[in-house]
Amino acid sequence: MKQLLLSILLLLTLPSFVAAQINPENILDTVETVDGPVILYKNFSWQFLGEEPVMLNVDDDSTGLFTQGWVNDQIHGFEQMKPDSIRDTVLFLLPGEMTFCMPARYERLIRGFMYTHKGLDLKVQTGDTVRAAFDGVVRYARYNRGGFGNLIILRHYNGLETYYAHLSKINVEVNQVVEAGDVVGLAGSTGRSRGPHLHFEIRYRDVPLDPRRVIDLDKGLLVANTFPIRKEVFYPNDWDSTAVYYKIKSGDTLGHLAAKYHTSVKEICAMNKIKSTTTLRIGRVLRVR
């Protein structure tokens, strides 16, 4: 025992060797130090426990919590649900026993959840820290050619996933276990982006819902301890405080309004429940953002 303690003291004065793998058969002992737990290996190498990320072995997932649709090379994992098919309200506690962290410190909300924009665009600077909103596991972490740029998807519990897009750097690996508040990447402007911002989404079984139904952005806290899933949560809110309205003047067209307010004719039509062929009467008020 005395010889083991001397060996430990000697090892703690040396740099750690990353060649040793965390394999139970190779572990000699574990020791608590002021800097955290240290693993001692039979080949006399050592490392701090926190140096290697904890990884989920999907094949060993006896609960089936993450197995359904667990793919690392495409953004859609679950069999996509149709919101209108929901007949009853599904009520459950949010992930991680309510452990939550704002994904980034942002300057302002650039763009909210809309019919053609399924998340929040938060104004940040390139290199700003991006954190996991809830406890979960990394399902996707790579460059996405569909417009998201560098994208991380975290799978949580109860069918929820969160998206973190346009990152300048990805700091996690697929199948890595993360906790709320862990750094997952750095903000940027990769993919289809007009400037540095974090595009953040919350999806339930692959269907995006308005994050502001879950998160109070002003307080940086969850709205409530439980979250009701019903078909209405998958459509934009009419009470959106950031909404912009416009009174039609002579000569206005939907194309002109879409260009002026950096949106699309399709989005304006969806928000106002009109068609692209609808006559714009002077004095009518339309929501344009």
168 in a structural domain: yes
Q: What is the pLDDT of residue 59?
A: 61
Domain with residue 276: its CATH number is 3.10.350.10
Q: How far is the CA of 288 from the CAs of 96, 150, 204, 269, 282, in angstroms?
A: 37, 29, 27, 9, 15
How many folded domains does the chain comprise?
Answer: 3
Q: What is the pLDDT of residue 62?
A: 57
106 in a structural domain: yes
pTM of the model: 0.70
Q: How far is the CA of 142 from the CAs of 149, 150, 171, 172, 177, in angstroms?
A: 8, 6, 10, 10, 16
251 in a structural domain: yes
Q: What is the pLDDT of residue 4?
A: 41
21 in a structural domain: yes
Are 222 and 256 members of one domain? no
Exposed/middle/buried for 208, CB within 10 Å: 0-12, 13-18, 19+? Answer: middle
16 in a structural domain: yes
What is the rounded CA–CA span in Å between residue 175 and residue 71? 10
Q: What is the pLDDT of residue 272?
A: 83
Q: What is the β-pairing status of strands 177-178 and 136-144?
A: antiparallel
Are 149 and 216 members of one domain? yes
pLDDT-flagged residues of the chain (< 50): 1-22
Are 111 and 227 members of one domain? yes
Domain range for residue 164? Answer: 89-234
79 in a structural domain: no
Are 125 and 226 members of one domain? yes
Q: What is the pLDDT of residue 239?
A: 56
DSSP strand E in the chain: where? 27-33, 36-41, 46-48, 90-93, 109-111, 120-123, 129-131, 136-144, 149-155, 160-167, 169-170, 177-178, 183-186, 197-204, 207-209, 215-216, 221-222, 226-229, 245-247, 285-287
Q: Give percent above pLDDT 90 in the chain.
A: 34
Are 223 and 147 members of one domain? yes
Q: What is the pLDDT of residue 139?
A: 94
64 in a structural domain: no
65 in a structural domain: no
Helices then strands, counting H and E runs in the chain, come out as: 3, 20
- CB 135, CB 179: distance < 8 Å: yes
Cβ-proximal residues to 92 (8 Å cutoff; 6+ apart), any chain: 158, 226, 227, 229
Q: What is the pLDDT of residue 50?
A: 59
Q: What is the pLDDT of residue 6?
A: 36
Exposed/middle/buried for 162, CB within 10 Å: 0-12, 13-18, 19+? Answer: buried
What is the rounded CA–CA span in Å between residue 134 and residue 93? 12
Q: What is the pLDDT of residue 20?
A: 35
